[in-house]
Amino acid sequence: MDAFYLAQLFGAFALVVTVCGHQMASPKASLVILAVASVLFGFHFMMLGQVAFIVAFLNAFRSICAVYLDAKYLKYIIAFCAVTSIVMIIPQVNSFKDALPIFAVLIISSGVLLKSNPLMFRSGYLFGEAVWMSYGLMISSYFLSLGCLFIVISILKSMIKHDLPPYLKKRALRSCEAVI
């Protein structure tokens, strides 16, 4: 099997796992599942020859630490992962697209840092996924781009289901039904 198609297969698995992860009510459960998805995306990027695999593996480490470490240590782990991503990727940045994983990890890390507030946690992932979607389009990572679209929809659905107060939830659901 060609490496490109094998990479797309890893991307497809990562897509399914990521969408499932964002449907969890608990940010901790989401983080465990998203750590698995990050490892799968890491292999996907590695097979495509993209430096974003470093960011993906660090995201998995950050997610697992966010679940099991005390909140007072979490900010140091997030800072370590962000700085490590920047230090390892900056020398390899040749264009704007090469820097996008750094922006994505910083945005998502801010959401993980605020995991005690599920709405802020999901918002960080929502905006970070928009950056990843742009990156996927630029590097021809079809499952990353498609996955990010599904993930954004999944996050929005999860925000409506778990994070909105009841009076806004009814209004949001009526708006969604009107669109459909």
Residue 127 has what pLDDT?
A: 92
For 64, the domain range is: 3-179
Condensed to tens digits (0 to 9), the pLDDT of residues 30-81 reads 889 989 998 998 998 888 888 788 888 988 998 888 888 877 788 888 888 8
Cα end-to-end distance, the chain, whole Å: 40
Condensed to tens digits (0 to 9), the pLDDT of residues 78-137 reads 888 888 888 888 888 888 888 888 888 888 888 877 777 788 888 888 899 899 899 888
12-32 burial code (b ≥16 CB/10 A, e <16): bbbbebbbebbebeebeebbb
pTM of the shown model? 0.72
Provide the domain count of the chain. 1
In this structure, how many other beta carbons lie within 10 angstroms of the beta carbon of residue 56?
24
Amino acid at 67: V
